[in-house]
Amino acid sequence: MTLLPEEMVRGAAQLCVAAGFAAGALMFARCRSGRMALAVALDFWLAAGLLNLSVATTWTVILAATAIVGLRRLLKVALAQNASAAAGDRPG
């Protein structure tokens, strides 16, 4: 089994970060929801963190990936609460 060179993995991680910014901006332009845009961006940034984790298993990289996962979970809870509150405001 051939492993990818470290430079390729790091380049892919950088592309994920850039794609996160682009996708988040597009989502914000489309929905006007900062939370939804952040959720999309965090998915790409998690992918970048996991790619970095596959190359260098330092505590800094592990903590960065953990922080992104934690932020995604908090955002998911906030979005669910926001959606249920909005549904409660609607009649019928």
Amino acid 72: pLDDT: 80
CB-based contacts of 2: which residues, under 8 Å, 6+ apart? none
Amino acid 87: pLDDT: 63
Query: Cα separation of 24 and 54, whole Å?
Result: 24
Q: Which range of residues forms the domain containing residue 56? A: 16-85
Does residue 4 lie in a domain region? no
Does residue 11 lie in a domain region? no
Q: At 91, is the secondary structure helix, strand, or coil?
A: coil
Amino acid 52: pLDDT: 84
Q: Is the pTM of this model over 0.75?
A: no
Element (H, E) at 69: helix 59-89
Domain total of the chain: 1
Does residue 51 lie in a domain region? yes
Does residue 92 lie in a domain region? no
